[in-house]
Amino acid sequence: MNILIIGAGNMGTTYAKSLLASHFATPDQMQLLIRSDAGRTRLPEIPDYNIFRSAGDFIRQADIIIVSVKPQDYSTVAPTIRPFLNSEQIVLSVMAGVSIQTLHTSLGIPKLVRAMPNLPSQIGMGMTVFSCSPELDRKELFIIQNLLNTTGKAMYVEDEGLLDSATAVSGSGPAYVYYFMNAMIKAGIELGFTPAQAELLVNQTFMGSVHLQNRNTISCEDWIKKVASKGGTTEAALKVFLENRVEEDVKEAINSAFKRSQELGK
């Protein structure tokens, strides 16, 4: 299976490395279309004869085309690749806010996939939500699922509108996690730990808590109850969260991200 990746920024590089590491594709089966030599240096595994600086007949050889350019650059890229596309190729877009309808209008082919990955995809621990046009058959959907799983976990949704929800929850989610981690690190420093000590405490706490949650079917609320004994230290902290409506603020923030994602997609 031949794969063409358009754009070798963070996500393009991530997919190239993940596909190679998982043996989903070999270097000879992978082509890059890039606009600068920076992409070439990031991916020394790809042979020079499979790296291109402008669109051409080589595009016709691709079975799957991953478009990972910046959304604002897409209107320039689309017309250059359209003449070389055919109806059997699958185009997978990881561009934020670019709808399947927009892809269809600009590229003129039926088999289209829109995906929303997140930052941990760079280390194979990402969460990707994707939707596709109805022209993809079950086998092709399975192939795309496996491709996206090389960067972590992938979830298919029939309703494309849920990609705005995914953007708000998992796409932007790592920033929320880092926000809370940063606040806890600062609190640890104020309580007497060195920055390195505070960072270790918080990093391991988050890592351990997530692994524990993944290994059980217990809800987050039940885990909270297991940690928070009546009249204890955890309950004192949770009381402050409750009084300051932290849960409501988090939900409001995520809803704001959702609305912004919808605006960007118009």
Is position 216 annotated in a ligand binding site?
no
Is position 12 annotated in a ligand binding site?
no
Is position 9 annotated in a ligand binding site?
yes
Is position 7 annotated in a ligand binding site?
yes
Is position 187 annotated in a ligand binding site?
no
Q: What are residue 64's phi and psi, to 5 degrees?
A: -130, 135
Is position 86 annotated in a ligand binding site?
no
* Closest to 66 in 3D by CA, of 88, 90, 100: 90
Sign of the CA dihedral with 145 first, then 112, 50, and 17 last: negative
Residues placed in the known binding site for NADP(+): 6-11
Residues placed in the known binding site: 6-11
